[in-house]
A = this chain, B = another copy of it.
Amino acid sequence: MIAIGEASRQSGVGIETIRYYEREGIVPKPVRASNNRRLYSAEDVGRLRFLKKCRDLGFRLADAKTLLDLSEGDGKDCRIVKELAVLHISYLRAKISELRRLETALYELTANCDSGNVSCPMLSQLRSANDR
């Protein structure tokens, strides 16, 4: 059993974040040593690492918890997992194309923008009343 700092190091999840996950009921409350300090097992660290990977993949915390619960449950079949993943992929794709759109729009706005212009064309564009 290890202390929270070591659990943080082993899982890659920050100390404050671990305590936050505990408060939020994302992970079970760990046992306490006689001095009231939290003690984590290898399993606890595994959970934290699992959550970290999910978060790194862009899942929201609630979904990460769902996945964690699924992975601890008996029926580990894929349905819900795949559903969540597919949903998240389409969310990512939508986000990507939106950002690409923004990038293009912004690039075009700056195209005529050159130091020395008396009146900035980008600002003019943004100030214009038309379009939406």
Contacts and interface: CB of A to CB of B under 8 A. Distances in A.
Instruction: List the number of copies, as a whole number.
Output: 2
Contact of A81 (B85, B102, B113, B132): B113
A88 B105 CA distance: 12
A129 B77 contact: no
A109 B123 contact: no
Interface string A62-102: 00000100110000111101100110110011011001101
Q: Is the interface of A mostly helix, strand, loop or mixed?
A: helix
B12 A102 contact: no
Interface residues of A, number: 49
A129 B49 contact: yes
Contacts of A107: 89
Contacts of A50: 126-127
A35 interface: no
Contact of A92 (B106, B110, B129): B106
Interface of A: 12, 46, 49-50, 53-54, 57-58, 67, 70-71, 76-79, 81-82, 85-86, 88-89, 92-93, 95-96, 99-100, 102-103, 105-107, 109-110, 113-123, 126-127, 129, 132
